[in-house]
A and B are shown apart, each in its own frame.
Chain A
């Protein structure tokens, strides 16, 4: 009897003191258009005397395909997972494949009077007020608008030729004949009432080729993987890009486009 009462009281106290002012159950702030897709990398920067790198996807994706960096250059799909070092870059790997002073600015440049200018802080810019060459709102002002993410309809911008995506780097990429693009696929959600998803391989391959998604994120065989929307929200499957860099999962109807419920 006494034990039962004791346990009840203990449980009540434990229950009452559980939980604190965490962020669960609250609506998060949406990133501003210029913040969306911006990745902060600090894996090595934390151990050396330089500030973390602030990487803007918006600027790079306006010039290069996703595939070029995430397949040819081997960038991982999670921030800090690649483990880029200064040495790697100087050897022409990762960022250094372009940021070598030839394709894009290098770590150091010699200006006309023979003086060397260092550009470290252009990338290692976290917490610093750096004068960058491109300003987001100015850069995107003529691009077709979208409602979320960068508020840029990147797909349409590419389609209309407003941006031309480079998919090849000399000495790293290999030119091959393009494979046949598979047909659109209808994906039926398990939840009754949710409209079908019409998945377009064509729209995705422009940016990603095949290799970015297959076989690691998605198996090749149809219905080989069963996944749900919660996993997508948590950054898996479509969520590897959508929600981080590609348009976010805010407007259901961007993917759940079918009229048939």
Chain B
């Protein structure tokens, strides 16, 4: 073999090695996954749209404490919370009028907007929820998952261990029984397809949480739907980076993928 040909062969093998699965490098190194917080802090958000400007301490919001009692749909559909931090114009007066947080934090359903309660949300620093989280997981015997909150929330919901409400404004709400499941072929050769279930997602979400902004409604019509962009927090990454089980869990979506 001529030298130049040998060089080309090495180059080709190297290039293929980069795109093939099962290579020796760990997934965390290959994909630039953000560092995972401890399980009790996964899904925590620092909300500081105007708090700082108004000399109020920012809010530290915990998703897990809320999602055990309410589905995503309640806040992100009924109450109009946007899907990006600091985009929703939550104000004290809106809350007091029963909007946003105030829909529940009214002194009846949950603690209200009284002076002694301010710091409960406007804590200014992340709360240490290690103890309450451990207790929560233990007392309900919640099924485990390898990443995120290390709780298999889907399993917890299906087995009835948690019974989050799916509607507060519309108590009779029933999700549209849309059970379509499909395989999403991977863009890269030899990467096994992802399994998608509408049914599992509809237990938590409303159609319009994802359609048409994040995903077009027509199959295969969504452009740029690539892992690279999911890792930027787009598409599935809208939830599966910060709140729903994180992308470290490759097999959960791509079940035939090797660990």
Contact = CB atoms under 8 A, between A and B. Distances in A.
Interface of A: 1-2, 4-6, 8-9, 12, 19, 21-22, 24-30, 32, 147, 191-195, 228-230, 233-234, 249-253, 256, 261
Interface of B: 4-5, 7-9, 11-12, 15-16, 18-19, 77-78, 80, 82-84, 87, 89, 169, 176-180, 206-218, 221-226, 228-230, 232-235, 237-238
A142 to B, nearest CB: 16
A21 B228 CA distance: 12
Contact of B228 (A19, A30, A256): A19
A-B CB proximity, top 4 nearest: A25-B234, A233-B212, A27-B83, A5-B8
A252 to B, nearest CB: 5
A27 B224 contact: no
Q: Per DSSP, are chain B's interface residues mostly helix, strand or loop, or mixed?
A: loop
A96 to B, nearest CB: 36
Contact of B18 (A12, A147, A253): A12
Contacts of B232: 21
B217 A229 contact: yes
A24 B213 CA distance: 8
Contacts of B234: 24-26
B223 A24 contact: yes
B214 A25 contact: yes
Nearest to A192: B180
10 contacts: A5-B15, A6-B8, A25-B214, A25-B234, A29-B84, A147-B78, A147-B169, A192-B180, A193-B177, A253-B176
B18 A194 contact: no
Nearest to B211: A233
A250 B229 contact: no
